[in-house]
Amino acid sequence: MSVDVEDYFQVSAMEPVVSRDDWDGFACRVEQNTHRILDLFDRHGATATFFTLGWVAKRYPALVRAIAERGHEVASHGMQHMRVSSQSQNEFRADIRKAKALLEDAAGVAVRGYRAASFSMTKQTDWAHRVLAEEGYAYSSSIYPIKHDHYGIPDAERGAYHPLEGSDFLEIPISTIEIAGKRLPCGGGGYFRLLPYGLSRWMMRRVNRRDRMPCIFYFHPWEVDPSQPHMDGIGMKTRFRHYTNLSKMYPRLDRLLSTGPWRRMDEIFLTRQEQ
């Protein structure tokens, strides 16, 4: 189970209408929404990895500390939700280094995981894994092995793998299933909101039972917040993807968590690797 901790105005699809320079002017809802998620996890005895923006850690260090104190893994989502593919190697290194330091200062624990904004690692950014390893990260969960108009490496490995020769560094892709030679997404996010719950659950069970792999699931705090402000000036596709079924997300998560067990990513992958 994983949560990408960012606010409603920080989503990549909002970039055409929201400047990062204006972020401080928006009413933040990430703190209250994340606490609501923490309470939900507590109720089900679930633990998760919270891939958190450095921007959030800088403004809400008590939130990051609460995530760690309540038994969850604190991991990095970069500083300001910048796509890897839009950064140079030096810019990327500075970004992940700063985010890691802020998160570790706030949480009081080591940060070992990273997730790229919008799963923006591509074949053209294969240097990113090396930079992450050099900066002290142990794993990334940044690749969605599907074809999508904004992200994805369709022919990437579906299960966890070592992208660097001679290194224990792991890449842990978001879950997919294969049917008739085609890959379909089943790792949460907008797909979990848009698709019928029964279909999503069937696909997750298939990953577990047929493929014998853990299911890597993700969502965002803004997805449990149907009362969030609506952004003007966005296209119909973005509006559909972002706002559809927000009111259904929390009860669906509640139902999904009852199927447990759901655990934090370092517990599943790094503990096994370190044994």
Q: What is the pTM of this model?
A: 0.95
At 6-40, the pLDDT tens digits run 999 999 989 999 999 999 999 999 999 999 999 99
pLDDT of 231 over the 50 cut? yes
Going from the C-alpha of 36 to that of each of 32, 56, 58, 251, 267, the distances in angstroms are: 6, 16, 20, 12, 23
Query: Which residue bears the tokens 């790792």?
Result: 187
Residue 5 near residue 50, CB atoms below 8 Å: yes
At 254-271, the pLDDT tens digits run 999 999 799 999 999 997
How far out from the chain centre does Cα 154 lie?
18
Nearest Cα neighbor of 108 from 163, 72, 69 is 69
Q: What is the mean pLDDT of the chain?
A: 94
Residue 64 near residue 55, CB atoms below 8 Å: no
At 205-215, the pLDDT tens digits run 999 999 999 99
